A = this chain, B = another copy of it.
Amino acid sequence: MQGQNQQQAYDRGITIFSPDGRLYQVEYAREAVKRGTASIGVRTADGVVLAVDKRIRSPLMERDSVEKIHKADDHIGIASAGHVADARQLIDFSRRQAQVNRLRYDEAIGVETLTKQVTDHVQQYTQIGGARPFGVALMIAGVSDGEPSLYETDPSGTPYEWKALAIGADRGDIREYLEANYDEEMTLEAGVGLALKALESVAEGGLTPEGVGIATIPVEDAEFHELTDAETEAYLSDLDLLATDEDDA
C-alpha cells in the first residue's frame, strides 16, 4: 500500500508510526527472526515438546554452543529464533524472573506469568527511544499446575498461546504441516514425532541426531528433559527420517 520511498521515511526508529499505523522497526525485527533457523513447539495431552534445527556451520564448532533450547526453570524450556545475542538476554531475563518468583513466593513461576513478564520487557523496547527492539522470538514451553502450555513472544511484545507452532526460517511451511497433522490428544511421544516430521518436511536430505535438538516437559514430572543423541537417533530411525548422507550436518 506504500511505495518504497514512503516506507523509508518511517522506518528509522521505534518512536515513529507510519501513516498507516505501522511500526516498521518492529516489523524489521520480525525479519531478523525469520533469518534464524527453525524452531518448533508442540503441546500434547501429556507434555510439551520443543524441537530445533541445530545444524552447525563448521565441523570445528562445538554443537552444544549453538544454544537454541534453554532450560529456564525446572519446569520450563525456551526455544528461540532470530538474533542469538538478543535471545540470550531474554533467556537470562526469564531465568532471573523464575528465580525471583521462587524466592519471593516460594513456588515455581507459572508459564503464562513468565511469558507476560517477558513480553512486558520486550514491549518497552518498542515504545521508548534510545534502543532497538529485540530481534528474536521465543517459544516458552512448560507445565504449571499439571497443565502443559506453549507460548510465543514476538518482537512487538505480544504473547500468544499455541497448540503447536513454528518460528524462524520456513515458519510458513512448517505451520502448514503442523496444522494438517496436529492432534490435540496425541501422546508426548507422538508430539516428538510430529515435531521431527515437521522439521524434516523443510530439510533437504533428512535429519541427523546431531543436527536436531529436542526437549520435552512431561506433565507427569513437570521436569525439563533434553534428549540425548541416542534418544534422538532412535526417534529418527523409527520415523525413517535419518539422513542417508551427512553432508548437510
Q: Which A residues contact B (CB, under 8 angstroms)?
A: 7-25, 28-35, 58-62, 64-66, 82-86, 88-89, 92, 116, 119-120, 122-123, 125-135, 151, 156-165, 175, 178-179, 182
- Report how many copies the assembly holds: 7
CA gap between A22 and B161 in the complex, in Å: 28
B131, A62: Cβ atoms closer than 8 Å: no
B83, A156: Cβ atoms closer than 8 Å: yes
A20, B31: Cβ atoms closer than 8 Å: yes
User: Considering residues A22, A30, A64, A125, which has the most beta carbons from chain B within 10 angstroms of its beta carbon?
Assistant: A22
How would you classify the secondary structure of chain A's contact residues: helix, strand, loop or mixed?
mixed
Q: Which residue of B lies closest to A9 (CB)?
A: B8
Residues in B neighbouring A125, C-beta threshold 8 A: 127
A132, B32: Cβ atoms closer than 8 Å: no
Q: Which residue of B lies closest to A30 (CB)?
A: B21
B17, A25: Cβ atoms closer than 8 Å: yes
CA gap between A80 and B22 in the complex, in Å: 17
What is the minimal beta-carbon distance from A67 to any residue of chain B, in angstroms? 8
B158, A84: Cβ atoms closer than 8 Å: yes
Residues in B neighbouring A32, C-beta threshold 8 A: 17, 21-23
Q: Tell whether A60 pairs with B130 under 8 Å between CB atoms, given A17-B28, A151-B65.
A: no
A132, B17: Cβ atoms closer than 8 Å: yes
A17, B133: Cβ atoms closer than 8 Å: yes
Residues in B neighbouring A160, C-beta threshold 8 A: 61-62, 65-66
A127, B119: Cβ atoms closer than 8 Å: no
Select A31's contact among B17, B24, B82, B165, beta carbons within 8 Å. Answer: B17
A130, B132: Cβ atoms closer than 8 Å: no
A132, B14: Cβ atoms closer than 8 Å: yes
CA gap between A164 and B60 in the complex, in Å: 6
Select A59's contact among B62, B84, B179, beta carbons within 8 Å. Answer: B179
Select A163's contact among B21, B62, B116, B133, beta carbons within 8 Å. Answer: B62
B129, A130: Cβ atoms closer than 8 Å: yes
Q: Tell whether A179 pairs with B60 under 8 Å between CB atoms, given A31-B19, A85-B158, A159-B65.
A: yes
A135, B60: Cβ atoms closer than 8 Å: no
Q: Which residue of B lies closest to A123 (CB)?
A: B85
Q: Tell whether A18 pairs with B14 under 8 Å between CB atoms, given A61-B161, A162-B60.
A: no
B123, A86: Cβ atoms closer than 8 Å: yes
